[in-house]
Amino acid sequence: MQEFRFDIILYYLPMLLRGTLLTIGISILSIILGSLLGLIVGFGRMSARAYFRLPAACYINFFRGTPLLVQILIVHFGVVPALVGHTDVMIAAVLSMTLNSAAYTAEIFRAGIQSVEKGQTEASLSLGMTHRQTMRYIILPQAIKRMVPAFGNEFIVLIKDSSLLTVIAAKELMYYANVMRGQYMRIWEPYLTAAIIYLILTYSLSKLLNWWERRISQFEQS
Amino acid sequence: MKKGYLLILLTLVISLVSACGQPPAQDPAPAASSETGEPAAASGPVKFATDASYAPMEFMDLDQVKGFDIDFIAAVIKEAGLEHEVTNVGWDTMLESVRQGTEYQAGISSVSITDERKDSYEFSLPYFESTNIIMVKQGSPVKSALDLKDKKVAVQNGTTADILMTGIMGDNSAGLSKFESNALALMELDSGGADAVVADIAVVREYIKNNPDKNLVSIADSQNFDSEYYGIIYPKGSDLKAKLDPAIQKVIDNGTYAEIYKTWFGEEPDLTNLKAAMAKG
């Protein structure tokens, strides 16, 4: 390994940080939209009616069972041109990450809700609560607390997986690392720098989530 | 303390990566060498790395690497009386492993000879003249590279097209998209996300030839895009350059080169510029 060139890292740092901002932006947007879509799919998956349940199950199976890289390419070169008439990197980036994360969050919702014992539903129904009230006041408050760690995980996975968007030239962190490699034909500087930035992102996020989890459990005890 | 931790982590990662760099199990020797019964050359076949995503220069046909470069290097190796094998490893891996020089002793992958790259690699004699060329859809107002300034342009990351267009459009131009392969950049033009692609002439011609129904046209711009020359890359200090340069010269002089050129490009090569560049080294 030749000497490590900090000067080119410094030179590219503004670009890498700009890419990092986009990585964060795409990840946040996708986790929010993905959760909303995931909520719908998750409830569909738990529905007693087959015409809700089956499409939801197919959706989850497809997006969890195919590589994200393939999904990104299909969305960018297939779905987005079909929808808006031409390729659009930003739409494709957010759409592919959203569709993918919705499949995982749907399962998180389902697992969270089904983890609350049946006896509680039966008890609240026998107390005269409606299904909706049971969900709102009994099940969801407990379920959401159990979902938080899984959600945090999904968010972290999303940040890391957004690096795949570089194949469609979305100008996120990995894109600029690749551009840097292309200019200097050096491997260590761009990729180690990118790795460290990703590490900082995911590590501080997991710290934040730990803190939030602790807060929630304190809140419950009081 | 935090810093010390990071350093340990880094060392771990690096040692892990270098441990993974052991050469993989060798392929069974080609049938030809076992038939002759002669001992193989002292150092075994010369191992070439390539990035076979650059038709017609080098590309995969099922599991075989084919293309102009592949036929050319076969002729050179035959002329030099050596044996060789070419493996498709991708662009990044090729660059890094040829620089290290342990697993692969050379790389042939339409690598343009540039001064920057000369810092890191030993180059063979130039063996191919190329130029970048613009591809647009029919009816586009683009006439030259300067017209692309405020357009959306797709290139392959790290290529000379990338370097040229970055020069014209600026370091952080929003309109310039750098893809991981020319195929992806061409697809971006196809589906309307880009107004133009800039790439090597051979790649663009091949694409237009293969997609006559897409109404694409190429625009040459010798004013802004200089001729460039491809060379084989070796690690610094390699003795292969001395062995193969005479063979390259011979293959080009004795007409073998022109034959290979004709099979891949359907026309006689114009060797004037190339020979001048070779004379310069």
The answer as to whether B8 is a domain residue is no
User: DSSP 3-state assignment of B191?
Assistant: coil
pLDDT band at residue B13 using 50, 70 and 90 as cut-offs: low
The answer as to whether B138 is a domain residue is yes
| Whole-number Å distance between alpha carbons of A1 and A175 | 24
Q: What is the pLDDT of residues A39-49, one digit of tens each?
A: 999 999 999 99
Domain of A166, in residue numbers:
6-221
The answer as to whether A1 is a domain residue is no
Q: Which two tokens stand for residue A29?
A: 């947007």
- Contact across the interface for A86 and B191, Cβ inside 8 Å: yes
- Mapping DSSP onto H, E and C, the string for chain A reads CCCCCHHHHHHHHHHHHHHHHHHHHHHHHHHHHHHHHHHHHHHHHHCCCHHHHHHHHHHHHHHHHCCHHHHHHHHHHHHHHHHHCCCCHHHHHHHHHHHHHHHHHHHHHHHHHHCCCHHHHHHHHHCCCCHHHHHHHHHHHHHHHHHHHHHHHHHHHHHHHHHHHHHHCCCCHHHHHHHHHHHHCCCHHHHHHHHHHHHHHHHHHHHHHHHHHHHHHHHHHC
Strands B153-156 and B106-107: unpaired
The alpha carbon torsion through A32, A34, A38, A39 (nearest 10 deg) reads 20
Chain B residues closer than 8 Å to A192 by CB: 10
Chain B residues closer than 8 Å to A190 by CB: none
Domain of B65, in residue numbers:
46-127+231-280
Q: Is the pLDDT of residue B27 over 60?
A: no
Shortest Cα distance, chain A CAs vs residue B268, angstroms: 33
The answer as to whether B6 is a domain residue is no
Q: Which residues pair with B136 in a beta bridge?
A: B196, B217
Domain shared by B79 and B165, yes or no:
no
Q: What is the pLDDT of residues B129-180, one digit of tens each?
A: 999 999 999 999 999 999 999 999 999 998 889 999 999 999 888 899 999 8
Domain shared by B181 and B146, yes or no:
yes
The answer as to whether A31 is a domain residue is yes
Domain shared by B242 and B258, yes or no:
yes
pLDDT given at position B63: 82
Nearest to A77 among B162, B163, B187 (CB): B187
Dump the DSSP string for B54-118. ETTTEEEETTEEESHHHHHHHHHHHHHT--EEEEE--HHHHHHHHHH-SS-SEE-S--B--HHHH
| Whole-number Å distance between alpha carbons of B184 and B193 | 11
pLDDT band at residue B61 using 50, 70 and 90 as cut-offs: confident
- Contact across the interface for B178 and A175, Cβ inside 8 Å: yes
Lookup result for tokens 């990338």: B162
Backbone φ and ψ of B41, nearest 5°: -50, 150
The answer as to whether A43 is a domain residue is yes
End of a domain among B208, B227, B246? B227
- Contact across the interface for B95 and A187, Cβ inside 8 Å: yes
User: DSSP 3-state assignment of B152?
Assistant: coil
Q: What is the pLDDT of residues B100-109, one digit of tens each?
A: 898 899 999 9
Lookup result for tokens 């005479």: B246
Lookup result for tokens 């000879």: B113
Peptide bond into B24 cis (omega under 30): no
A95 or B16, higher pLDDT: A95
Name residues 4-43 of chain A within 8 A of B (Cβ).
15, 18
Nearest to B191 among A18, A81, A187 (CB): A81
Strands B46-50 and B84-88: parallel
Domain shared by B104 and B177, yes or no:
no
Domain shared by B136 and B117, yes or no:
no
The answer as to whether B72 is a domain residue is yes
The answer to whether B189 and B166 are in contact (CB under 8 A) is no
This prediction has a pTM of 0.73
The answer as to whether B145 is a domain residue is yes
| Whole-number Å distance between alpha carbons of B90 and B178 | 17
Dump the DSSP string for B204-223. HHHHHHH-GGG-EEEE--TT
| Residue B281 touches partner A, C-beta closer than 8 Å | no
Domain shared by B136 and B216, yes or no:
yes
The answer as to whether A138 is a domain residue is yes
The answer as to whether B219 is a domain residue is yes
Domain shared by B117 and B237, yes or no:
yes
The answer to whether B157 and A171 are in contact (CB under 8 A) is no
Domains in chain B: how many in total? Answer: 2
Domain shared by B143 and B168, yes or no:
yes
Domain shared by B113 and B240, yes or no:
yes
Nearest to B180 among A167, A185, A187 (CB): A167
Q: What is the pLDDT of residues B77-91, one digit of tens each?
A: 999 999 999 999 988
Nearest to B192 among A87, A166, A175 (CB): A87
Q: Is the pLDDT of residue A221 over 60?
A: no
Cβ neighbours of B249 (radius 10 Å): 16
Domain shared by B122 and B143, yes or no:
no
Given CA atoms A65, A67, A68, A73 in this order, what sign does their dihedral have? negative
Q: How many alpha carbons lie under 13 Å from residue B113 in its C-beta half-sphere?
A: 21
CATH number assigned to the domain comprising residue A23: 1.10.3720.10
Domains in chain A: how many in total? Answer: 1
Closest chain B residue by Cα to residue A176 = B178
CATH number assigned to the domain comprising residue B160: 3.40.190.10
| Residue A130 touches partner B, C-beta closer than 8 Å | no
| Whole-number Å distance between alpha carbons of B257 and B255 | 5
The answer as to whether B26 is a domain residue is no
The answer as to whether B204 is a domain residue is yes
- Mean pLDDT, range A61-70, rounded to an integer: 97
Q: Which residues pair with B198 in a beta bridge?
A: B134
pLDDT given at position B30: 42
pLDDT band at residue B246 using 50, 70 and 90 as cut-offs: very high
C-alpha distance from residue A67 to each of A61, A164, B254 (Å):
12, 11, 50
Shortest Cα distance, chain B CAs vs residue A13, angstroms: 12
| Whole-number Å distance between alpha carbons of B230 and B234 | 13
The answer as to whether A83 is a domain residue is yes
| Residue A179 touches partner B, C-beta closer than 8 Å | yes
> What was the ipTM of the complex prediction?
0.75
Q: Which residues pair with B84 in a beta bridge?
A: B46
